[in-house]
Amino acid sequence: MKGLPDRFQITNTYNGDVFTLKNASGTGTADDPYRWTIENVPDKTEIIFTESDYDVTGYDVTINGQATTDAEAGTVKVTIAENETAI
C-alpha cells in the first residue's frame, strides 16, 4: 500500500513485539504484501493484534471486508489452530 505512514505499527498481546514498516518483509504491494512473523506460538493461543497510525487519504479501514466502528478499528483477534503456520 503506497502512502502508509512511517509511524504505522502493529502491536500484539502475545509477546509485545512491535511490527513496523522498517521490520517488515515484503514491499506492501498486492503481489508482495508486508509480512511479520511470530514464531513458536503454542496451539490455542489467542493473540490480539492492534494497528495504529495507519491513516491514509482515500482509504477506509476494514477488517476482512467488513466496515469497522471506531472502537473496533485496527484490532484483530486470532486463535492459533493446531498445526497452523500462518494467519
Total count of domains within the chain:
1
Model pLDDT for residues 17-43, shown as the tens digit of each residue: 999 999 999 888 888 888 898 888 888
Host domain of residue 76? 1-87
pLDDT at 14 over 80: yes
Output the pTM of the full model.
0.68
pLDDT over 90, % of the chain: 11
Burial of residue 54 (number of CB atoms within 10 Å: 0-12, 13-18, 19+): middle
Total residue length of the chain: 87
